[in-house]
Structure 1
């Protein structure tokens, strides 16, 4: 795969989906740094980020999907010596991340922008890839279920063969389900763990490790959850 994007795979089905982000970015703009206050204990995410950082050669280019405030993942990867590029649909979160992790680069963008020919993908105006590794912590759950396989294949397309992906989802059997979240409403999707593994494998990743943790957020309007962390590698 060349730096120009040669060798990327296109997934035209993504282009046919009716992408609906209404209210999602606005909710996170309003939440801002209260997100970190509501989720102060992030041991599972930190452990998965450490696996990702250690799985990469020094100075690797790493993509952080749904980078949020930049804490802990973008900061953790940057402090490990990697070159971090984060994307988030919330302009407010991007601003916070830029202030918090000045050594990383953050873009106000959607994962769909990484598609071949998209705004940031191969053949697009910025063409950010390829990347040596990627993190997607609780970002794909913000998509409707029909989009998630395409999003994973898009991630596969911007990763070099064998590149590691650290993925986190909340275990649930819901699709684009509206939930109260820190005084706002967001729509979330999820899978039970066996189905999540299968979706990830069908998208072209091998699951090489897994961790599941019970989590009780500090905020009383966010219910306890089971967080699933998958350690994956892009299949050649």
Structure 2
């Protein structure tokens, strides 16, 4: 029997769980301030479309959202109409063409470390124009760690900030900024999040 993606089981509870998303909203605002329509943006692991895809669509940008969860994509179509949403593995985007910017907010955390550098390297080759990349991860130092998120089993990968920056640099990017933010990701559970901005060299 095929395994059900964790976020198909989580569905709308994902957005209901978040207490603080100010930092992610600020990252979206930063990107919007550097792009103009019809700039094309790839939202890797777009989830429910909140908050990022909706911010980008509302700014008049051409948004392509990719997620493996059909349940999350249905939410994205409702929350951020006007984007193009595709159900696929985030490692399978080479055929989607070029983008002015790529965002991966809490998406790479779902991949094993062995796949992250090859994906980032591929994404660098798909960037044009301002060639911007934004990544958000949870602070940590583990690879495919078994976790429970909202009661659903999953695995997670994380890096210390300097290692994440070094990984992005090895993929062919110049780091613009790295910030650490403490946020309440689920009610009564604090975590440290890393937000990284880069430009393809």
- When the two structures are superposed, what TM-score results if normalisation uses the length of structure 1? 0.81
2:132 aligned partner: 164
SS class of match (1:74): helix
| Distance in structure 2 (CA, Å) of the matches to 1:234 and 1:161 | 10
| Distance in structure 2 (CA, Å) of the matches to 1:218 and 1:193 | 22
Alignment equivalent of 1:105, drawn from 84, 102, 114: 84
| Distance in structure 1 (CA, Å) of the matches to 2:36 and 2:14 | 31
How far the C-alpha of 1:40 sits from its partner, in A, is 3.3
Is there any run of 5+ residues in structure 2 with no aligned partner, and where? none
Counting matched residue pairs gives: 200
2:15 aligned partner: 36
1:227 aligned partner: 193
Task: List structure 1 segments (4+ residues) > 6 angstroms apart after TM superposition.
Answer: none
User: What are the superposed Cα offsets for residues 81-127 of structure 1, whole Å, 9 maximum, x if unpaired?
Assistant: 11111000111111111122111110001122123xxxxx1xxxxxx
SS class of match (1:28): helix
How far the C-alpha of 1:161 sits from its partner, in A, is 5.4
Larger Rg: 1
2:32 aligned partner: 53
How far the C-alpha of 1:154 sits from its partner, in A, is 1.9
Alignment equivalent of 1:188, drawn from 145, 151, 156: 156
| Distance in structure 2 (CA, Å) of the matches to 1:111 and 1:217 | 23
Structure with bigger strand share is 2
Deviates more, 1:223-232 or 1:136-145: 223-232
| Distance in structure 2 (CA, Å) of the matches to 1:187 and 1:224 | 18
How far the C-alpha of 1:162 sits from its partner, in A, is 3.9
How far the C-alpha of 1:171 sits from its partner, in A, is 1.0
Computed over aligned residues only, the root mean square deviation of the Cα atoms, in angstroms, reads 1.5
Is there any run of 5+ residues in structure 1 with no aligned partner, and where? 1-21, 116-120, 122-127
Alignment equivalent of 1:151, drawn from 106, 113, 119: 119
